[in-house]
Structure 1
Amino acid sequence: MHTPIDSSSGVNDAPDSDVIHEDRLWHDNGWTCRVIKNEDDEGWAVAMTKDGEAEPALVGPWTMGRDKKNPKPLDVSAFNTLVKTASEVLRRHEQQLHAQLHKQVWIDTANDRISVTLDIVPDEDDPHAVLAAENAAGDSLAKVRVAPTFKLSVRSASDWIESGYAKPR
């Protein structure tokens, strides 16, 4: 059943062939929400999948309806809350991945404060990392390709600076 809803709800109210608003399936604003039977017990679960993604960003328990057998139907409020929660999960995942792939240390030298960064490129065919240095003004001092296993620390960054930015072994 396709049910456009009013714009005060926060969900797109324009007729759109991609918009679906059914009791157990909603597709709107780039997200698909499915209420599914929980295989582990007698309850229900909800899965939120962002358009273009193969796996759900969020899976969680879903409320039983009044008959205590069937799930509560999806509605605009529940859908909007689930979109917000799933978006936050994706944002935290992206932040965690960025933190794993990007490291930075600051080194104070006699003349300047130098930022040394390590950016890991997790390419399947050619994994590597880029070690880079900038001065406090943001001017690039050096950039070199290193192994993705290179360990950036204050010590390794200091050694690199002291070597005149020679490629680390």
Structure 2
Amino acid sequence: MTDHAEEHQPDEDEPVQEPRLWKGNGWTAKVIKNEDDEGWAVAMIKDGEPEPALVGPWTMGRDKKNPKPLDTSAFNTLVKTASEVLRRHEQQLHAQLHKSVIVFANGGELKVTLDIIPDDEHPYALLSAFDEMGERIAQVKAPPNFKLSPSSASDWVEKDFPAPR
């Protein structure tokens, strides 16, 4: 006699392939009712993230009431698109937190970098200077709102690398 009380519990990593819910490749696609109109939307959520990386319109089915079911091709396209959105966001964040300029001083070229450390309670930045060989020759703590520009970098180098206020 078989005990039906023990039902199969889906594994967290096990793929799910339902008409409105697909999981796999580290992503979940959920087809949801579009709050703004009569249509449908799809939300792409990266595993472990609380918010969707991408929410976009979803196609109506043939009955013009229900959403078109998800399929392998659509899911793979959604994963690719959502991954690209995250990659662009990371590139933008990196560009905001890491800046560099080249200045000429003492007969040579120096690369001056500003790396912002976005700590929730005590954010700060590290202002560094590197010689032509890539060796760091100076590094000081700076305010997180320090504006790195060719002129501010030259000024910092000419004054022998003091900590900005």
Question: Same fold by TM-score, threshold 0.5 exceeded?
Answer: yes
Paired position in structure 2 for 1:83: 79
Unaligned runs of 5+ in 2: 1-10
Q: Give yes or no for the alignment of 1:149 onto 2:141.
A: no
Instruction: Deviation per CA, 1:123-146: give whole Å up to 9, x if none.
Output: 012100000010111001101001
How many Å separate the matches in 2 of 1:61 and 1:16? Answer: 27
Question: Aligned AA for 1:165?
Answer: F
**Residue 111 of structure 1, CA deviation:** 2.3
Question: Aligned AA for 1:92?
Answer: R
Q: Give yes or no for the alignment of 1:120 onto 2:116.
A: yes
Q: Secondary structure at the match of 2:152?
A: helix
How many Å separate the matches in 2 of 1:154 and 1:16? Answer: 51
| 2:23 equivalent among 6, 21, 27 | 27
**Residue 16 of structure 1, CA deviation:** 7.8
Paired position in structure 2 for 1:100: 96
**Residue 101 of structure 1, CA deviation:** 0.7
Q: Secondary structure at the match of 1:98?
A: helix
Q: Give yes or no for the alignment of 1:64 onto 2:66.
A: no
| Count of paired positions | 155
TM-score scaled by length of structure 2? 0.91
Paired position in structure 2 for 1:6: none
Identity over aligned pairs, percent: 66
CA RMSD of aligned residues (A): 1.3
Q: In structure 2, do the counterparts of structure 1 residues 119 and 16 end up closer, same or farther at CA, with 3 Å as the change threshold?
A: closer
How many Å separate the matches in 2 of 1:102 and 1:16? Answer: 37
Unaligned runs of 5+ in 1: 1-14
Moved over 3 A (4+): none
Question: Aligned AA for 1:102?
Answer: H
How many Å separate the matches in 2 of 1:122 and 1:167? Answer: 19
How many Å separate the matches in 2 of 1:109 and 1:160? Answer: 11
